[in-house]
Amino acid sequence: MYQDVITALAEAQSAGKLPFAMPKVVGGRYGLSSKEFTPAMVKAVYDDLKKPAPKNHFTVGINDDVTHTSLAVDYSFSTETDAVKRCLFYGLGSDGTVGANKNSIKIIGEDPRFYAQGYFVYDSKKAGAVTVSHLRFGPDVIRSSYLITEAQFLACHQWSFLERYDMLQYCQTGGVFLLNSVYGPDEVWDKLPQEVQKQIIDKKLRFYVIDAYKVAKETGMGARINTIMQTCFFNISGVLPPEEAIAKIKKTIEKTYQRKGPEVVQKNYKAVDHSVANLKQVNYPQKVSSSLKMPPIVAKEAPEFVHKVTAEIIAGRGDKLPVSVFPVDGTFPPIPRAGEAEHRAGDPGVVPGPVHPVQQVHPGVPTRRHTREGCRPEALGQQAGDLQGQQVQGQGIRRCDVCAAERARGLHWLQPVRGGLSGH
C-alpha cells in the first residue's frame, strides 16, 4: 500500500496534476512473523509520527537491534476497561481445559447481558503440550483482536507450570489466582518458588487452591479436571449467581456427554458438586518465606545459543528476543554430538533424547543415533522404565540395550511415535 500511494503521488506530481505540495509519506510493517498488533503498538506509530522526522520503513512488534527499524512500544498502555473481564487459563493438552473453557464462554455468551470472546492457544500436537485459553466477556461489544496480557482472573491447572512459565506477569494487581495443587491452603505457600510468592504479594492477588486431581479421582473422573476447574472459575468470578452457574454447567455437561451414557453425565455432576466444597482461599503472609527458587530452564552445560535463545522460547519469552540473537540465515545450530557431555552417572533409567520431544525433561542433553546393526535381537524394543518428566510422565520409553558402555555415554535416542515416544 505504501508503494501504491507513493507511486500515485509521484505520477500525479510528474503530470502536473497534484493540487498540493508533495506530502511526507511514511510506511511501516506490523505483524511480522505473526506477532501481535495491539493498541500499544498503534499508539507507538502515532507517537512517532508526531516527531519532526518520523522513522520511515519502520517495524513495530519486534526488537530490531540490527537495522534499528523498530519503534519503542509502551506495553503498559491499554484501551481495555475493567468492565471487560479478562481471564487466562493454563492447562495441559488433553486434560479438558480447552473444552471446558469453550463451554464456559458459550454459557456466558448465551446470556443476553454479556458479549463474549474466546481464543485458544495450543501446540499442533495438543496432547501433552501447554494450552492457554484467553476469555473476555462484558456488557459492551468486544473488539480486542489480540491476546490478553493483563488478566483479572488467572488459573494454573498444572502445578509444574509454576516452575517453567512466568504466568503471573499477566495477572493484574488485585486479581485472582487459582491453582490446582496437591498442597492444601495451610502448606501450599511454602511450596511455591520465591519468585511466585513475590508476585502474589506485590500484586495483592486473591489466591485460591484446589486439589482437582483428588476430586477427580474421588468422583470417578480419572485425570479429567476440566469440569472441576470450570466450576471453581464460576464460583470465584461471580460472573453469574452460583446457583444459576451450576445449573448451566450441568446443562452443558448433559449436552456434551449424553452420547457417552448417563454414567459419564452423573460422574460430571458429582464432580461439580464436590468442587466448591474443596475450593479454599489461601491467607498468605506479606513476606517471601520460601527457600525454593525457579529451576533453570535448560541444563547448565547447554550451549550458549540454547541458553540465550532456546531457553527463552521454552519459557514463553520468545517474542521478546532481539533480532541480533538469531543467526543471519534463520537456522538453528545443531545439537552437540554425544560424547561432548557425559550422561548423568548412576541413573540408567534416564534416556536422553533430541531437544524437541523431551526438552521439558532433560533439555540440552546431547544425543546421537546408532544403527540396529550389532544390537542383540532380544534386546531390541526392550521396555525401559517410565521417563519421569512433566510432558511424558507415565509413558513407556523403548530403548535398545546395546551395551553398558554405549548406554553409560547416553548414545540412545528417542523419537515421537503415535501413542508416546519410542527410540533405539
CATH of the domain at 220: 3.40.920.10
How large is the average pLDDT for residues 141-161?
A: 93
Query: Is 404 inside any structural domain?
Result: yes
Report the CATH number at residue 304: 4.10.780.10
Q: Could you tell me the three cell numbers for 195?
A: 519468585
140 and 127 together in one domain: yes
Give domain status of residue 378, yes or no.
Answer: yes
Looking at residue 190, its pLDDT comes to 92
| Domain total of the chain | 4
Same domain? For 157 and 262 the reply is yes
Residue 336 has a pLDDT of 57
pLDDT at residue 415 greater than cutoff 70: no
Query: Residue 133: pLDDT band by 50, 70, 90 thresholds?
Result: very high
What is the predicted pLDDT for the residue at 82? 86
What's the average model confidence in pLDDT over 45-74?
95
* pLDDT value at residue 58: 96
Q: Are residues 309 and 342 in the same domain?
A: no
Instruction: Give the residues across from 417 on adjacent strands.
Output: 420
- Please check whether residue 392 is in contact with residue 358, taking contact to mean a CB–CB distance below 8 angstroms: yes
Q: In terms of residue numbers, what domain contains 34?
A: 2-60
pLDDT band at 335 (very low <50, low <70, confident <90, very high): low
The three three-digit cell numbers of residue 418, written as one number: 503415535
Task: Based on the fold, state whether residues 102 and 185 are members of the same structural domain.
Answer: yes
Same domain, residue pair 316 and 339: no
Could you tell me if residue 10 is inside a domain?
A: yes
DSSP 8-state secondary structure symbol assigned to residue 219: T
Instruction: Tell me what pLDDT residue 226 has.
Output: 87
Q: β-strands 130-138, 85-92: how paired?
A: antiparallel
Residues 236 and 92 in one domain: yes
Q: Which residues contact 234 (CB under 8 A, 6 or more apart)?
A: 104, 240, 242, 245, 246, 249
The average pLDDT across 73-100 equals 90
Q: What angle do CA 364, 368, 373 make, to 5 degrees?
A: 160
- Together in a domain, 364 and 308: no
User: For the chain, what is the mean pLDDT?
Assistant: 80
Q: Verify that 10 and 97 share a domain, yes or no.
A: no
Q: Are residues 316 and 402 in the same domain?
A: no
Query: What pLDDT score does 291 carry?
Result: 87
